[in-house]
Amino acid sequence: DSGVTQTPKHLITATGQRVTLRCSPRSGDLSVYWYQQSLDQGLQFLIQYYNGEERAKGNILERFSAQQFPDLHSELNLSSLELGDSALYFCASSVEGNNEKLFFGSGTQLSVL
């Protein structure tokens, strides 16, 4: 158990809908990362937060947004969902977000039908 908690584990929704994925980092970790994993693209970095502030942005679509709350949990919001958004979404956390190992949650499997 990595100590990173993601909910829900599975999510099935329809095109055009909006969903929210939730992540609780390991106790004491200040930085949260979101990754998308699909069969054809591998693990793609989406966005990083550190202590409530956005620190780095990757290949995140404008339809997607995230935030980190004062209690350090994070949410990833996906809107106007398309079939191609179906993927595993992972949250990871680290202590300071600087050149250190990440601890990953078990992921949320999103299926857009």
Partner 1 sequence: GENVGLHLPTLSVQEGDNSIINCAYSNSASDYFIWYKQESGKGPQFIIDIRSNMDKRQGQRVTVLLNKTVKHLSLQIAATQPGDSAVYFCAENMGGGSYIPTFGRGTSLIVHP
Is 106 a binder of partner 1 (CB under 8 A)?
A: yes
Is 98 a binder of partner 1 (CB under 8 A)?
A: yes
Is 11 a binder of partner 1 (CB under 8 A)?
A: no
* Part of the chain binding partner 1 (CB under 8 A), chosen from 14-22, 64-72, 76-84, 93-101: 93-101
Task: Let me know: does 112 contact 86? Beta carbons within 8 Å.
Answer: yes
Considering just the CA atoms, what is the radius of gyration of the chain in Å? Answer: 13
CB of 43 to partner 1, least distance (A): 4
| CB neighbours of residue 15 within 10 Å | 12
Residue type, 70: P
